[in-house]
Structure 1
């Protein structure tokens, strides 16, 4: 859940010292954490020299990776170690509110908070200052949020290019220096037997739904049929919970109708204008922002805080989270002929998150970290009313890398097939 209702947002600044991040690197705590919590057991760096060259040139450096897993910020520690630096990274405020240990560790590793539900000037100014001074490279995830679709990217947020351009303008004025952006492609590859894993995890999900599994085994077509059935069961449960009954028909229109119902109900409650269906992410952001603003709004007459029952506000925030979560099941991800072991793995994990509240990170994975050539950040945006050229260039570069990296996964429907890139 993104909106925190036990206290209003307060900015969490980055820890500036080098002792803690150096200790984390020296004692190999990255490996321990990734193996224990995320099942990431190996990594491969590609073109780290491109990053090293920008670092040696004293440039303000923005690393812009795709964002598909919670492990993404941590695996970049391997890249940082390779070139001999530490990183700063912008992270959603809710990550600092899970438990005190994780909040402590996040700051010591260079993270600082951003309020995704509002205009967080402190976070933006901190990011700009990091790039202007070139104190350390800065990690910004241009997709904003994460979901388990490693082979597809969400639309990129303009805040990334705004921060980069503003910093480039200030740095040029201050000392004539430059700011560059390195697109970074992250691809997670299954190391173990994905077919056996899928059979085991689908059996657990079927039992959780009080089903007696009719057919089990590692036959790819049978696994796909079971996966579709579990997905439909989850959607039907959510339709009954929120609408009152399950609908019939294909999954895609049913999913879209439920998203529309969830957001329209909350928008009506907070007096928000309903945006076009294509803008689900923006609608979710506006609902979350409205929930936080309404819950923490003071008494209009006295200006004093009001003790409110959080249940209704939590329900609206959860509905927005569910709408965004449902949107993370892309239609084309399980297209026949394009299904890989990692796509099955990610889809099952999304269902695990929906039913259990968290994914079960038990499939050993290797992450490929590929650094693209530096993009020099211009100080001007380009013609008004036209697409942001810097954001377009970043999107094209990242998209090309992700498409290429996606072909390194194993064909799920034909287990004996080896792709040319392997």
Structure 2
């Protein structure tokens, strides 16, 4: 996972969508797509669904999965195919970690900032106004983070549904939400480079480099070793059992401790990203009350580190590689290892890739204030995006590296 600053945003960045500047920046966009993300071809499917909604004069929210930092490039390629610019709700940290020129380029592409950990009414009102009145769609990534899970949708947050339903209550036109799935596939085999990263990971923790084992087995050995280290750090001893259960248990223990420490009552049924969001909000508010040199900040900074660890663990479903040992899943897992254990600012892309972006049937947004309806709309969107992804995978052969035989029971 990428380490980002979590604090009160220094400012708000509004959208400055400019079709003219989008054309001006096209060559730069294409260059970065190929050079930085090694993304060659993009196949746009289901464009007729989005075109029909726009032709009918509807306000449109697009809800893609968010597995890669290349997602915005994929969507803007689709926008070019559709001859329709897009707005993007973008984490403020993306602006905060960019230069002024980079921020301006993003604003020209319709990006505006949102504080995901706070109650950002300015961003919320901007999003509602776009959906109600403007001719171009708004893109919201309901997963909220880049989890490097190209083939599995993580639980959607309810923000996209809340924005769409708020817009629908006072809009003079119908509002629809269009599910969208983005899938990446390697065109050149990244295995040789992945093996080099795996070697560095094993050497990092003073392990013998196990070239006699498959890459699949080395991934799971390393993951087991890392969770054992964290169990010793937080629990005083390592535990046994399935990897996924140990990750879930440790995450829950850390979150419970933090909730008790900060007096946060956690409603039942909250997904881990929402629990983390609520606790981060509390810690950030306390940090804001303290001077930068106050020694009382140190334990709060440690709490923020603990919350980041929980998000890191959440991004590792225990059976992701063994369930479908494609080179994409193997590469994504090692990419995350590189970020999490080798402290890479962003994982390298090991081979050239193609992408498929698929738009599904629009979902009409009901005019209601019922929170249960918002939760149901969120559930339907999550299911539909996963279905679009599954349909893409069904038509995609699984390519397994010679270093990665299918293994069972892991």
Which bracket does the TM-score occupy, shorter chain normalised? 0.7 to 0.9
Which residue of structure 1 aligns with residue 155 of structure 2? 155
In 2, the alpha carbon distance for the partners of 1:412 and 1:278 equals 36
Which residue of structure 1 aligns with residue 198 of structure 2? 202
Q: Which is further off, 107-116 or 278-287?
A: 278-287
1:62-211 → structure 2 map (5 Å cutoff): 62-100=61-99, 101-172=101-172, 177-211=173-207
Which residue of structure 2 aligns with residue 393 of structure 1? 380
Q: Mark the runs of 5 or more structure 2 residues left unpaired by the alignment.
A: 406-410
- 1:329 Cα deviation from its structure 2 partner: 0.8
- 1:415 Cα deviation from its structure 2 partner: 9.3
In 2, the alpha carbon distance for the partners of 1:201 and 1:139 equals 34
In 2, the alpha carbon distance for the partners of 1:332 and 1:183 equals 26
- 1:145 Cα deviation from its structure 2 partner: 2.1
Alignment of 1:350 with 2:336, yes or no, is: yes
Which residue of structure 1 aligns with residue 260 of structure 2? 268
- Match of 2:117, SS? coil
Distance 1:277 1:56, change over 3 A: closer
Which residue of structure 2 aligns with residue 224 of structure 1? 216
Q: Is the 1:185–1:369 contact (alpha carbons within 8 Å) kept by the matching residues of 2?
A: yes
What is the Cα-based RMSD across aligned positions, in Å? 2.7
Match of 1:374 among 362, 369, 374: 362
Q: Which is further off, 149-158 or 315-324?
A: 149-158
Which residue of structure 2 aligns with residue 287 of structure 1? 279
Q: Is the 1:66–1:143 contact (alpha carbons within 8 Å) kept by the matching residues of 2?
A: yes
Q: Is the 1:266–1:316 contact (alpha carbons within 8 Å) kept by the matching residues of 2?
A: yes
- 1:266 Cα deviation from its structure 2 partner: 2.5
Q: Is the 1:61–1:134 contact (alpha carbons within 8 Å) kept by the matching residues of 2?
A: no
- 1:416 Cα deviation from its structure 2 partner: 12
Q: Which is further off, 273-282 or 229-238?
A: 273-282
Q: Deviations over 1:56-95 (max 9, x none)?
A: 3332121111111122122211001111121111011111
In 2, the alpha carbon distance for the partners of 1:363 and 1:241 equals 36
Q: Which is further off, 395-404 or 191-200?
A: 191-200
- Match of 2:271, SS? helix
1:316-355 → structure 2 map (5 Å cutoff): 316-335=303-322, 338-355=324-341
In 1, the alpha carbon distance for the partners of 2:96 and 2:185 equals 30
Q: Which is further off, 344-353 or 204-213?
A: 204-213
- Match of 1:214, SS? coil
Which residue of structure 2 aligns with residue 23 of structure 1? 24
In 2, the alpha carbon distance for the partners of 1:32 and 1:82 equals 18
Distance 1:412 1:381, change over 3 A: farther
- Match of 1:331, SS? coil
Count of residue pairs brought into register by the alignment: 398
- 1:126 Cα deviation from its structure 2 partner: 0.4
Alignment of 1:251 with 2:243, yes or no, is: yes
Q: Mark the runs of 5 or more structure 1 residues left unpaired by the alignment.
A: 299-304, 418-422
Q: Is the 2:161–2:374 contact (alpha carbons within 8 Å) kept by the matching residues of 1?
A: no
Distance 1:333 1:179, change over 3 A: same
In 2, the alpha carbon distance for the partners of 1:281 and 1:201 equals 29
- 1:291 Cα deviation from its structure 2 partner: 1.3
Distance 1:265 1:3, change over 3 A: farther
In 1, the alpha carbon distance for the partners of 2:245 and 2:6 equals 31
- Match of 1:335, SS? helix
- Match of 1:45, SS? strand
Q: Is the 2:162–2:374 contact (alpha carbons within 8 Å) kept by the matching residues of 1?
A: no
Alignment of 1:403 with 2:390, yes or no, is: yes
- Match of 2:88, SS? strand
- Match of 2:62, SS? strand
Distance 1:416 1:119, change over 3 A: closer
1:28-47 → structure 2 map (5 Å cutoff): 29-47=28-46
Which residue of structure 2 aligns with residue 301 of structure 1? none
Which residue of structure 2 aligns with residue 420 of structure 1? none
Distance 1:49 1:415, change over 3 A: farther
In 2, the alpha carbon distance for the partners of 1:16 and 1:96 equals 15
Which residue of structure 2 aligns with residue 4 of structure 1? 6
- Match of 2:307, SS? helix
Q: Which is further off, 313-322 or 286-295?
A: 313-322
- 1:356 Cα deviation from its structure 2 partner: 2.3
Distance 1:97 1:385, change over 3 A: closer
Q: Deviations over 1:366-421 (max 9, x none)?
A: 11011112222222366x6567443333223212111122332524278999xxxx
Which residue of structure 1 aligns with residue 408 of structure 2? none
